[in-house]
Every structure is written in structure tokens, then in C-alpha cells.
Amino acid sequence: MLNNGNKIVFMTNLPVLFERYYPKYKDFKNNFLALGYHPELIEEYPNYFEKIKRNLYKTRFVGEIGIDNSERNKESFEKQLRIFREIMDECNKSDGKIISIHSRKAESSIFEELINNNNIYSTLVHRNS
């Protein structure tokens, strides 16, 4: 990781990766590790939400999270939506989270959740075709 004045946020796609790298990089001043649970991995790693809850207080950066409604992930849409809501609810419990949101063929669902959510976040929504 860099410590040259640039600020860099490194995304993770699973909470276990955050847990692995956080102790090593937590003291870098200009580099930040984001806590993520990528929607494409929710089926393969179904029981990681508790790890999100356990680690959320360690960082203000959350991501990559979101919904992927592409053909290969359509069957897990409801599960992805539930996990996305649960993570956003947990983010509501603390101030100042900066969230990177993955969206593939799910933009309306993502924006509906953001509009209906109680808190306003700093968010970066990226979409893949």
C-alpha cells in the first residue's frame, strides 16, 4: 500500500478478506480498506452477514455491496436484496459511511432502496453492462 499523500480506498468482495488484511493495513494513514460482500458471491458464501456486522465499526468505507440481477445471478436476487438491505440498515447505525454499490441490471432496485432508506450516505454506484 502507498503512503505518499495519495488517498486510496481498497475494496474487498468478502468480509473474510477484510478480516485478513485489516490488521496489516489499518495504520496506513492515506490508505483505507473497505468492508465488502459482493452480490455475485452471496450464493457461494451465504453466511457472511454476521462478519459484516462484526467488522463494520472498523472502517467508514463499505464496498463492494449491491445487487447483481444478470442472467447468472437472477435466482439469488431476493437473497441479494435482503443482504443489501441488512447491510444498509447496519450502516444506518453509524455516521459517515462511504459506500461503493455494485449494480448490474438492478439500478431501479438500488435507487429505490437508497431513496427509501432513512439515512443519506456518500455513495458511489457503479453499473456493469
Greater confidence (122 vs 33) lies with 33
Q: Where are the chain's structural domains?
A: 8-127
Distance in angstroms (rounded) separating the CA atoms of residues 21 and 14: 11
Burial pattern 62-84, b for ≥16 Cβ within 10 A else e, equals: bbbbbbbbeeebeebbeebbebb
pTM, rounded to two decimals: 0.90
Is residue 27 pLDDT above 60, yes or no?
Answer: yes
- What is the CA angle 102-87-40, rounded to 5? 40
Average pLDDT value over all residues in the chain: 90
Alpha helices in the chain (DSSP H): 15-25, 49-55, 77-92, 107-116
Is residue 103 pLDDT above 80, yes or no?
Answer: yes
pLDDT tens-digit readout, 52-91 = 999 999 999 999 999 999 999 999 999 999 999 999 999 9
Burial pattern 6-41, b for ≥16 Cβ within 10 A else e, equals: eeeebbbbbbeebeeeeeeeeeeeebbbbbbbbbbb
Distance in angstroms (rounded) separating the CA atoms of residues 104 and 121: 20
pLDDT tens-digit readout, 105-127 = 999 999 999 888 766 567 777 76
Homologous superfamily of 8-127 in CATH?
Metal-dependent hydrolases (3.20.20.140)
Per-residue cell: 50: 454476521
pLDDT tens-digit readout, 40-54 = 999 999 999 999 999
